[in-house]
Every structure is written in C-alpha cells, then in structure tokens.
Structure 1
C-alpha cells in the first residue's frame, strides 16, 4: 500500500539540488511510497492518507509562504517541520470573524494573503478599528504572551488565507528559538510605534493625517511584506481601516495627492512617498532631500 508524503519547501529545494530531474514547475512534490534515501530528513510530514483528498495547489503555495515568513527563516529543520505540521492554513471569505473579542488567545495569526482589520465594538454598538494588517503580517503575540482574553476582534476585509499557529507551538518556539524571540521583540516594538502614531494622529492631527498614517503603516516592512504589487486596497477599505466615512477618506486622499504623497488614478492608488505620509501624519515637515520609499498600491476593479 502506498503512502503520500508532502515535502517542505526546504526539502524540495534540497531534492532539486540532488536530482535536477525533479519537476521544477512544482513548488511542492508528492512522492509515492517511501521518500528517496538521498533526500534530507528535514521534511517529511505525512499530510494525508490513502482515500483522503490531496491539498489544492493554492493551499500548498500558501503553506510555502508560511515557511518563508521572516520569523521562520532562521528556525532549525526540526522547528520548521513542527511549525508546518501544527499550523493551520485556512481560507476565510470577506467579512469573516477570525477571532472574537473576549475569547481565549489560543492561536497566533498570520495573514498569508489578503487583509484583516483589528477592531472592537462597544456595548452600545459603536465600532472602532485599531489597525489593518495586510499580507505578510502577523498579530496576536501580545495576548499569547500575557495569557489574556483577546481584547479585540479580527475580521477579514477581503477573501484571505490565514495561518493559525496553536499556542503550544508558539510557546515551544518562544522557549527554544532565540531568533524567534528576536523577531517578537522587533514586532512588538514596531507595533507599539504604530499605535503611538495612530493615537497621535487621532488626538492631535486632522482626519487627513489619520488617513496618511493608516496608509503608511500598511507598508511598514517590519509588520508586513512590502512589495510593489503585493497590496491591493480600495478607498472603501481605507475608510474602514481609518474609522471614517468613505467621503471623508476620499477627500483626505485627494489632499494627500495634492501634497505629492499619493497619486490616484482610475482603479488604483499609487503611494509615492511613505516617509512623507508618516511625517504628515505626525505633523512633521519632511525635508526635501530626505529619501523616499516608493511603493505602488493597486486598487481592485
């Protein structure tokens, strides 16, 4: 009776190096029977048995993205295998509640593809959005470390692939991986800076400044994957993340365009100056000779 094994990304690359005949068009490789002797033992996790449905190509690609997360790059082979074996990758439709406010923090959340908002709803039904987290971002480590009930809810803004790492896996990495701890320190520091910027813009600056901070933080390289075409966001989504009406957010975007920070075209918003957006959000005038970080944000049709 044959069994099927799913190679991790590292093991697949190692097999490719050992045997160039391996099909290079696949990100993962399914092997019938036992794995070859010359394949390193870094991999091998059986993910389905005879009669079970083989995972879709989309979910396999997203699992590769899990292993390429910044915190995973310096894990040992043993740690990578356990992380992949115990972390779920689930697709949520737009508007799904991934975490509910007040529930135990039992998973660390990663946005492999898509976008979520972190918000809370008051007793009288008023909703406040704290932050948005785009592709490549991870959140919820504070509640995991403090063993507290989750003080917010997490809702998908669009169809999203979400990774959920169980608390036992998170704790094991926290106890065994110095590199993972270094990542958490950088992440928590960046998140603190993000909340300081959001609070400052809300209490001391204009609604245009709030929009500037919101857009800029979606391109924080410490908190998400920053690429020229990785993020698609609509004006309506920006309004939701800022806690503003679409009309006010649209007016703010036009003001930011007039200031040279963004350029709006039909079906798209181009972010021209992330540093300028940060400075504008804090009421600081950016020097003309300061370096600019240029990112292109596509607007979904």
Structure 2
C-alpha cells in the first residue's frame, strides 16, 4: 500500500469524501494513490479489467475509437467520479472503452476484487454508484445527441453555459477534446462568440459572466435537448 490516512485524503480532496468516508479500513489498506499527467492513458479499450479508480482531482475522458481511429467521446468524469466500475459490476473481463486524463489527475486505485468486496459491504456506496451510473448514462446520451445534431459552435456553447462564471481554466486543446473537433475549429468558434458578446477575451483566456451565460443559454447556438436535460 502507498496511500496515506483516509482523513488526510478527504482533507486534501473533499470531493471523494462521499465515496470513502465509510470505506472499511481493510479495504482502504489495499488502495493506492496514483498521479497522472494530462493526456496520459489510464487504460485501453480491450485491455484486461484489473483496476477500478476513484477520481480525487482532475478530469478523465472515457472514449472509443471509430474505424478511422478518431476518438469518439463517451463521457467526461470529474473529481468524485469512478472509472471502471461498470465493467467490474457486470463481471466483465476487458475494458469496453479507453480512458485518459484531460488534465493532471490524482486517482485512488484498487483491484477489481477489492472493489467488489467493498460494494458487498457498503450499502451507502451502492446508492452512490447507482446515482453515478444514472448520471453517466444521461451524459453519454447527451453527448451522442450533441455530436450527431450539433455544430462545433453549438457544442462549445452548450458546455460554456454550464461552466462556472469567471475565467475558464481549461485550455483550447481541452475544449477541442471535449467538443471532438480541432483546436483551429475551436479558435474560430471562440472568436465568433467573442465578437457577438457571449464571452470576453482576457489575455487570450476566455471569460464568461453570469449575464453572458444567460444570454448564451437563450442564443440559437445552444442545443435545446442539452439545456433541458442537464
């Protein structure tokens, strides 16, 4: 084991408190803390199912590759999320999708057998996982609709209205990944939104106020399905 006390992890990464606060100590002792740089693969589609991960900090992209090798986003998971639990719960042998970090990430890693033992002993965890899986299904469904029915500027706009007001911390490259388009396309979309007053540029960084978010939500760029279901 290379993990510190549970209380220290909760203090440093409060978003995982819900998940681990009632975790039995013998389960906790079998966990490891891992840090990934942005853009690193966590696992590949078709790889052996060996681990389940809890996201302490950062953003993880779950995706698959189409026949041309292009990445098709399935879902983005933020801190407090779980990766690999679906395959573990259905007793799968391999990973259905690939996963990589969008930003620098800190994860709690455990073996599949340890995860299954944990679910069998913690009813509270099972309720959290049900809620998490429902949100994943909803987000994945919304992603499908966005990619099939929406243009790049509509996909970007639908994400901007759910971002926190203020200066966006994500890079253009991260926005491109989230929208499934090139950085050049994102730059054109950002420029157009800035020209129309929906966002403000601050030293090449994107700034969006609550007022601008409201304007953007009412604009022709926002996918109606996304705004009603998120």
The normalised TM-score by structure 1 is: 0.60
* 2:61 corresponding residue in structure 1: 117
Does 1 or 2 have the higher relative contact order (CA < 8 Å, sep 6+)?
A: 2
Structure 1 Cα separation of the partners of residues 63 and 193 of structure 2: 25
How do 1:221-240 and structure 2 match up within 5 A? 232-240=169-177
Give the conservation status (yes or no) of the 8 Å contact 1:89–1:164: yes
Structure 2 Cα separation of the partners of residues 173 and 62 of structure 1: 18
* 1:190 corresponding residue in structure 2: 135
Structure 2 Cα separation of the partners of residues 167 and 112 of structure 1: 18
* 2:224 corresponding residue in structure 1: 283
* 1:212 corresponding residue in structure 2: 157
Residues 17-44 of structure 1: per-residue CA shift (max 9 Å, x gap): xxxxxxxxxx5xxxxxxxxxxxxxxxxx
User: Which of 81, 90, 101 is matched with 1:146 structurally?
Assistant: 90
Matched, 1:241 2:178: yes
- Which structure features the higher share of helix residues? 2
Structure 2 Cα separation of the partners of residues 166 and 135 of structure 1: 20
Q: Structure 2 regions of 5+ residues with no counterpart?
A: none
**1:239 shift after superposition:** 0.2
Q: Aligned pair count?
A: 220
Structure 1 Cα separation of the partners of residues 71 and 195 of structure 2: 31
Structure 2 Cα separation of the partners of residues 124 and 206 of structure 1: 21
* 1:48 corresponding residue in structure 2: none
Matched, 1:203 2:148: yes
Cα gap change, 1:67 to 1:268, in 2 (>3 Å): closer
**1:105 shift after superposition:** 2.5
User: Which of 117, 140, 146 is matched with 1:172 structurally?
Assistant: 117
Q: Structure 1 regions of 5+ residues with no counterpart?
A: 1-5, 10-26, 28-60, 220-225, 287-301
User: Which of 92, 96, 100 is matched with 2:36 structurally?
Assistant: 92
Structure 2 Cα separation of the partners of residues 275 and 72 of structure 1: 36
**The structure with more radius of gyration:** 1
Structural RMSD (CA): 3.5
* 2:205 corresponding residue in structure 1: 268
Cα gap change, 1:122 to 1:147, in 2 (>3 Å): same
Cα gap change, 1:244 to 1:235, in 2 (>3 Å): same
Structure 1 Cα separation of the partners of residues 16 and 100 of structure 2: 24
The normalised TM-score by structure 2 is: 0.76
What secondary structure is seen at the aligned counterpart in 2 of 1:118?
strand
Residues 268-287 of structure 1: per-residue CA shift (max 9 Å, x gap): 3345457887786432697x
Structure 2 Cα separation of the partners of residues 124 and 166 of structure 1: 33
